[in-house]
Amino acid sequence: MARPKEKINTLIGHEELQKRIKELANEISRDYEGRDLLLIGVLKGSFMFLADLIRELDYTVAVDFMGTYSYGASTQSSGEVRITKDLEQSVSGRHVLLVEDIVDTGLTLRYLVDTLRARQPASLKVCALLDKPARRRARIGLDYYGFIIPNAFVVGYGLDYQEKYRGLPYVGVLEEEEQQKTE
Ligand code: PRP
Ligand code: 7HP
């Protein structure tokens, strides 16, 4: 199997990710003490973050997933958010925490928050591992975030470029030559 290391520069290492996720989980546990919580992971990118986060939370926490798609094979958002998978569970009257891998333009999150609010949860908050404010196009507040990152296209730890690199255990910046070669 091809080793991608030579074209990807590490931005956030595995240990740093794990340390910050534990801190986030402690904060979330404190805030939701005594309340039932439903985590909603946004597929596909959030699967790794959600898996690590939920293992640090109370074992009674429920989980469901929504799928969205807006980047395709590009490093730029198409601007159109499509739902590829809806929830199985109802969110009505429940405490919901939306779990994202990255907020970039903010269009995906804006769309999801509006969609979920209309279903009348008791509360709705957002937790994103990575916040890239430089390219924001939609106004959206984050209740919890892991890291603020610079304006670069990142891969790994669930995030892809043309469906590759999701399995990297760290977050790295994809070098420009690599993007141009394959675009
Ligand atoms: C990515 C990422 C976020 C969204 C963030 O999903 O996982 O959900 O883009 O970008 P935005 O803030 O500019 O909307 P993508 O549409 O690439 O699907 P994927 O998670 O399946 O790769
Ligand atoms: C989506 C996305 N996917 C991978 N890397 C990034 O930097 C991204 N921003 N938005």
pLDDT in tens, the chain (183 residues): 555 544 899 999 999 999 999 999 999 999 999 999 999 999 999 999 999 999 999 989 999 999 998 887 778 887 889 899 999 999 999 999 999 999 999 999 999 999 999 999 999 999 999 999 999 999 999 999 999 999 999 999 999 998 999 999 999 998 876 555 544
- The CB of 71 under 6 Å from ligand 2? The reply is yes
Q: Residues with Cβ < 8 Å from 15, sequence gap 6 or more?
A: none
104 flagged as catalytic: yes
- pLDDT for residue 5: 46
How far apart, in whole angstroms, are the C-alpha atoms of residue 134 and residue 123?
28
How far does the centroid of ligand 1 lie from the alpha carbon of residue 1, in Å? 26
Instruction: Identify the pLDDT of residue 180.
Output: 56
Q: Beta strands 82-85 and 62-69: pairing type?
A: antiparallel
Instruction: Give the pLDDT confidence score for residue 178 in this predicted structure.
Output: 54
Gap between the Cα atoms of 36 and 96, Å rounded: 9
- Give dist(CA 43, CA 182) in Å, integer: 24
Q: How far apart are CA 55 and CA 159, in angstroms?
A: 20
Distance separating alpha carbons of residues 169 and 111, to the nearest angstrom = 29
What is the enclosing helix (H) or strand (E) of 124?
Answer: strand 123-131
Burial class of residue 104 (count of CB atoms within 10 Å of its CB; 0-12, 13-18, 19+): buried
Asked if residue 134 lies in contact with residue 103, where contact means CB atoms within 8 angstroms, the answer is no
Write down the catalytic residue from 36, 64, 101, 104.
104
pTM: 0.93
C-beta 165 within 6 A of ligand 2: no
